[in-house]
Structure 1
Amino acid sequence: MSAFIVSIHHIRALVNAGLNARYGQPLSWRIRPLTAEERAGSYEPGEPWGPDAIVISGQLRRELTPESAELVGSILLAENQRSVNYRYDENELEYVYTHRPSRPRTPVELLKAIDCYEYQACETPDWEDSEAAAFCEALRSHLIGDLPGYHDAPWSIDEQ
Structure 2
Amino acid sequence: MAPFELHTAHIDGLVNAGLQFDMIATRDDATLAGQMLLQQHYRSIGVLGDHEDPPDYTAALADHAFHPVAVLRLLDSYEYQSDETADWTTGPASTWITRLRDEVLSRLPAETKTRVRYGSLSVPAYQLLPVYADTPWAVTALEQIPNIGDSTIEIPVVRKGLPAEILTGPIHCPNGGLSSRVRHVTVLGLGQDRELPAFARVREPSDQAPGVYVLFEHGRHVARPVDPPGMWFAASGAFIHTGDWRWRELIGHSLPIPLHDHHPER
TM normalised by structure 2 equals 0.38
Name the counterpart of 1:3.
Answer: 3
Bigger RCO (CA 8 Å, 6+ sep): 1
**Are 1:81 and 1:93, in contact at CA under 8 Å, matched by a contact in 2?**
no
SS at match of 1:128: helix
Identity in percent: 33
Bigger strand share: 2
The correspondence of residues 149-160 of structure 1 with structure 2, limited to 5 A, is 149-150=109-110, 160=199
What is the deviation of 1:100?
1.4
Superposed CA deviations along residues 42-92 of structure 1, whole A, max 9, x for unmatched, are xxxxxxxxxxxxxxxxxxxxxx22131111000001100000018xx9xx9
Determine which structure has more spread, i.e. the larger CA radius of gyration: 2
Distance in 2 (CA, whole Å) between partners of 1:4 and 1:110 is: 19
The correspondence of residues 10-159 of structure 1 with structure 2, limited to 5 A, is 10-21=10-21, 26-27=22-23, 64-66=24-26, 67-85=28-46, 95-102=55-62, 103-147=64-108, 149-150=109-110
Distance in 1 (CA, whole Å) between partners of 2:65 and 2:20 is: 9
Q: How many residues align?
A: 113
Query: What are structure 1's unaligned runs of at least 5 residues?
Result: 28-63, 152-156
Q: Tell me the amino acid that sits aligned with residue 143 of structure 1.
A: V
Superposed CA deviations along residues 88-141 of structure 1, whole A, max 9, x for unmatched, are x9xx98642111112422111110110100011100011001100001000000
CA RMSD, aligned part only?
Answer: 2.9
Bigger helix share: 1
Name the counterpart of 1:36.
Answer: none
Distance in 1 (CA, whole Å) between partners of 2:53 and 2:46 is: 9
Distance in 2 (CA, whole Å) between partners of 1:85 and 1:126 is: 14
Query: What are structure 2's unaligned runs of at least 5 residues?
Result: 112-195, 200-266
Q: Tell me the amino acid that sits aligned with residue 137 of structure 1.
A: T
Distance in 2 (CA, whole Å) between partners of 1:129 and 1:94 is: 18
**Are 1:73 and 1:97, in contact at CA under 8 Å, matched by a contact in 2?**
yes
